[in-house]
């Protein structure tokens, strides 16, 4: 089987215009209820950050995404080198 190397592989080379980089307020489905994965992750982060009020089952996808980013920043869970401090 030959592999077509002219097509980009989204798992390896995500396009710069992907939804991963869109502002949650611009998401078409941003007003939909948060996904199960978002809820689980947000619940975990809110417990780790000692901010249980950050979690609510009534959040939209966009609201959950924003809260996840805030909690990740608080917990210093960025993509990058490990923090030494």
Task: State residue 29's pLDDT score.
Answer: 86
Per-residue pLDDT, 26: 87
Beta bridge partners of 32: none
Please give the structure tokens belonging to residue 37.
Answer: 């994965």
pLDDT at 28: 85
Angle, alpha carbons 39-40-45 (nearest 5°): 95
pLDDT tens for each residue of 7-66: 666 566 655 555 556 888 888 888 999 999 999 999 999 999 899 999 999 999 999 999
Q: Name which residue leads in pLDDT, 26 or 77.
A: 26
Give the pTM: 0.64
């Amino acid at each position: 089987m030959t592999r077509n190397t002219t097509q980009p592989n989204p798992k390896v080379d995500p396009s710069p215009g992907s939804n991963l980089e869109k502002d949650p307020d611009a998401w078409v489905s941003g007003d939909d209820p948060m996904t199960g994965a978002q809820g689980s992750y947000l619940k975990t982060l809110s417990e780790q950050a000692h901010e249980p009020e950050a979690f609510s089952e009534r959040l939209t996808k966009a609201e959950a995404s924003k809260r996840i980013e805030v909690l990740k920043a608080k917990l210093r869970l960025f993509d990058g080198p490990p923090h030494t401090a």
